[in-house]
Structure 1
Amino acid sequence: MVQPVPLAEIWRGPFLESVHLGHAVIVDGTGQIVEAWGDPSVTVLPRSSSKMLQALPLIESGAADAFGLGQEQLALACASHNGAAIHTDRVRAWLDHIGMTDDDFRCGPQEPGDKEARDALICAHDAPCQYHNNCSGKHSGFLTLNKHIGGDPEYVQTDHPIQRAVLDGFEDLTQEASPGFGIDGCSAPNFATSLLGMARAMAFYANAKEGQGVRASAAARLRDAMVAYPELVAGEGRACTELMRAMDGRVALKTGAEAFFIAIIPEKGWGIALKVADGTTRGAECAIAALLVRHGLLDAEHPATRKRMNAVIRNWRGIETGMIRPAEQILPRANG
């Protein structure tokens, strides 16, 4: 196994203080590697970066159309949202639409990441509900599909027809048999693959077009929903939302827990997957921004980029103390 390589660095004054090591790979529509750093064959749990794959059966089964789901719901099915009102209002309306309640979820309650929503709960002395969970959109998709097929309510069980359908699509698009799974924070199984396999799957999404077949049509609809509603995929202040906006819908992005990140790039037909080995989000956000700048997809000076790549670090008095920047080997070519 090739060892992880530097992807992002933390500098304090003239001193290199910390280094985030990891692996990254860019794949084209034929499954060939365009560029790679570290070990593309490393086994990974893509965590929430796999939500587009987990949402495939929602469309492929006909459930999305049977319940009249639009792009907003499809974007939420792929989301790790902040639990802001723009997210939870839509999730609750979705539940009402399919005749389900918060009790039907199996994702568990989670304090909202959105400060306004969190403060409102505290002031009202209320506890968070399951619809506040950052994965409640994905689980709304699971519930919709489960109602469509008349499945057992324990839809997160690995042997449930929904999760078997997820695995079928996952293995097809990664072009690998999954070696197993872990249980995600929202209680659904998260299937493992290689980093290369995940990039292959994202390249499929990049090249998918409606009318090319059931799976390609489903992938295209999910990708297009994400770029149409970046604020639903994550939320204000979040990297996925801000960077997708900065690229004017040219690229779909999705983070995953423990410093995973993917990019879907239709104009190049590429998929990107990266994993920072220490699980630190700041490293993954810096690295994905650098790779997008490297290939001319993201403006290096855009404010959303500068929050994550070549971002100034300040102390509590506002004094500039350092910077987080990409490692030399992934520097944008114009700067390298």
Structure 2
Amino acid sequence: MALPAGFGSGGASVAGPSPLEVRLRRGGCVESVHRVHAVVCDQRGRILMRAGRPDHETFIRSALKPFQALPLLSSGAAEQFDCGEKGVAIACASHAGTPTHAREAFRLLWNADLEVSQLQCPVPIGASSPLEHNCSGKHAAFLATCRKMAWPTESYLQGDHPVQREVHRRVAELLGLPAAELVAARDDCGAPTLRLQLAQMALLYAHLGASTQAELEQISRAMLAHPELVAGEGRFDTELMQRAHGQVLSKGGAEGIQCLSRIGEGLGVAIKVEDGSRRAKQAVALHLLRQLDWLTPSGLQELEEQVLILNPGVSLEVEGALRFQEG
């Protein structure tokens, strides 16, 4: 999938700054090394800063969730079924499956006169209900949208279902691409996710933080108002948004995906760890937040102490930095 017109700076080569490296040291010796690509885009799709390849292609995984929530709003389902900000936030969540999270997902279903049995996300190991699955809010939002639009509920995860086609249409619109060019595959929860270039992910998050489109602004406002629903206590997205005072939105995905938005400035960041390491993506996110000056030093220290918990004698260090895109 080629970068659409407007990306980059007039056809600049993909050659450029090297990927970041995250090194785990044990007793002063390097034990593991993770290679990481990162890019900053504005809402016009211009690559402003980068480390590694902005055209690196991978699946966006759960970082797609804020955009999968768009049909809930555009269909009128969120208003009709009185979702409120909490309902929108849980629709965007990769949550911890606590009773609080399960209750919000259940409320989405209850208000739309839907049954828990209609959820097609798996029941997690050791759990008793699909409501405890980290994607239950997204699935409940899909079903509520289907109820409002009189679309079939039993096939809502199929790629050709109207709710999935609408997600793809909206994402393609934001990227300036024909929807037919998007490549989808099944995520672990059963819903489609998309294979995108890293710069395209950053562009999506630039739009999410720009506050220029009403539905995206509703989504970002809900996530920032209820960060505890988006992930959970002690989890990176929640802890970051609680310390950013409404200025930074954060949403991660599996296999080393992390996306950030700078609210009101139309800037998006996308991070991909080649080997999928969670600790590496969190270390890089902290490193870039420090470089971009998006979080206070005290907030960064608190966040690092909260999420990067390592055994004694073990440390993580990030080598490299974002570089400005050359014109």
Q: TM-score, normalised by structure 2?
A: 0.88
Aligned mate of 2:207, from 200, 204, 207: 204
Partner of 2:304: 306
Match in the other structure for 1:132? 132
Q: For 1:226 and 1:22, how far apart are their aligned partners in 2?
A: 26
Q: Could you tell me which residue of structure 1 aligns to residue 88 of structure 2?
A: 74
Q: 1:249 offset after TM fit, Å?
A: 1.8
Mapping of residues 274-285 of structure 1, within 5 Å: 274-285=271-282
1:114-154 C-alpha deviation (Å, 9 max, x unpaired):
xxxx6xxxxxxxx5211111000011110110001111121
* Alpha-carbon distance between aligned partners in 1 of 2:84 and 2:33, rounded to the nearest angstrom: 42
Residues 39, 198 of structure 2: 8 Å contact kept: yes
Candidates 260, 263, 269, aligned match of 2:260: 263
- Matches of 1:35 and 1:128, distance apart in 2: 45
The answer to whether the 8 Å contact 2:286/2:304 transfers is no
Matched, 1:239 2:242: no
* 2:54 equivalent among 40, 46, 52: 40
Coordinate RMSD, CA, aligned: 2.0
Q: Give 1:322's aligned amino acid.
A: V
Structure 1 residues 90-239: aligned runs within 5 Å: 90-111=104-125, 127-153=127-153, 154-177=155-178, 178-209=181-212, 216-239=213-236
Q: Which runs of 5+ in 2 are unaligned?
A: 1-13
Q: In structure 2, how many angstroms separate the alpha carbons of the residues matched to 1:69 and 1:17?
A: 48
Q: Which residue of 2 aligns with 1:123?
A: none
2:249 aligned residue? 252
Instruction: Report sequence identity in percent.
Output: 32
Q: Could you list the per-position Cα deviations for residues 13-44 of structure 1 after superposition, in whole angstroms to 9, with x for gaps in the alignment?
A: 32222111121100113221111111111112
Counterpart of 1:155 in 2: which secondary structure? coil
1:95 and 1:140 in contact (8 A); partners too: yes
Structure 1 regions of 5+ residues with no counterpart? 112-117, 119-126, 210-215, 315-319, 332-336
1:16–1:2: structure 2 CA closer, same or farther, 3 Å change rule? farther
Q: Which residue is 2:34 aligned to?
A: 20
Contact 1:174 1:199 (8 Å CA) reproduced: no
Separation in 1, partners of 2:106, 2:40:
37
Partner of residue 124, structure 1: none
Aligned to 1:58: 72
Aligned length: 305
TM-score normalised by structure 1 residue count: 0.86
